[in-house]
Amino acid sequence: MNGKSSSPGRATQILIVDDHPIIREGMTHLLNLQGDLHVCCAAGRADEALAAMACQPDMAIVDISLQSDSGLDLVKTLRHRYPDLAILVLSMHDESLFAERALRAGANGYLMKLEATDHVVSAIREVLAGNIYLSAAMHEKLARALTVPRKKPEGPIASLSEREFEVLHLIGLGFSTREIAGKLNRSVKTIETHQANIKEKLNIRSGKELMRFAIQWIEGQ
């Protein structure tokens, strides 16, 4: 992607997509303090984000976990519909598990919410300059991986959808079905359906076996 810059005298317009109002408000306050950045619109769901594109932002900052959809699915849609849009994923999820998926979905950078606020602004400027933003620990590894085309996905995990991948990740971290439902803003029944699909795709017979697999997978990352 080529860096997208605003016209002289015009602040870069930014769309924030996060299902937590306090995050949206905090990010808006932080970015509007910058003379050359302005939050033109914000959304809590994928459908709201797509509607908000009417404000013609130069950049979208997207969380992975949204109320109505996977943030990675939204990134794919935004990249397909708006090829020149700069996209930064800002997430609570571990970058070692999700950064590569975010970049392959079409994001230009990945930043964990645990990072200091000055890193947020730096990440935004790096992406707007046309570069990929990752932490120092991830940059070399993923940049090298992204330059080598894969003939086919490797391992059973590759067959999972983005939402199933999130569910497996949270299982491996020790969260219960009800806790996962709360974190992903889904019903318990929906999470149970995802778990059933994961077990089928990974040829796992029981919930205990699924938990053991998920924990071992997390530990092996």
pLDDT at residue number 13: 95
* In a shared domain, residues 131 and 168: no
* In a shared domain, residues 99 and 28: yes
* In a shared domain, residues 118 and 176: no
pLDDT at residue number 220: 64
pLDDT digit string, tens, across residues 151-167: 444 567 888 888 888 88
pLDDT at residue number 219: 64
Instruction: Output b/e per residue, 96-120; b: 16+ Cβ within 10 A.
Output: ebbbbbbbebbbbbbbbeeeeeeeb
Q: What share of the chain has pLDDT > 90, as a percent?
A: 33
The answer to whether position 136 is within a domain reads yes
Q: Highest mean pLDDT range out of 13-27, 133-147, 165-179?
A: 13-27
Instruction: Output b/e per residue, 2-26; b: 16+ Cβ within 10 A.
Output: eebeeeeeebbbbbbbbbeeebbee
CA dihedral defined by 137, 141, 147, 153, rounded to 10 degrees? -120
Instruction: Output b/e per residue, 188-219; b: 16+ Cβ within 10 A.
Output: eeebbebbebbbebbebeeeeebeebbeebbe
Taking the complete model, does pTM exceed 0.95, yes or no?
Answer: no
Q: CA nearest 62: which of 18, 98, 23? A: 18
Q: Which of 146, 176, 198 is the last residue of a domain?
A: 146
pLDDT digit string, tens, across residues 16-65: 998 889 888 998 999 999 989 999 999 988 889 999 999 999 999 998 87
The answer to whether position 163 is within a domain reads yes
Q: What share of the chain has pLDDT > 70, as a percent?
A: 82
pLDDT at residue number 165: 86
The answer to whether position 3 is within a domain reads no
Number of domains in the chain: 2
CB hemisphere CA count around 207 (13 angstroms): 10
Amino acid at 216: Q
Strands (E), the chain: 12-17, 37-43, 59-62, 86-91, 109-112
Place of tokens 């090829």: 83
Nearest-angstrom CA–CA distance, 144 and 200: 33
Which residue range forms the structural domain that includes residue 73? 12-146
pLDDT digit string, tens, across residues 178-211: 888 877 778 899 999 999 999 999 999 898 899 8
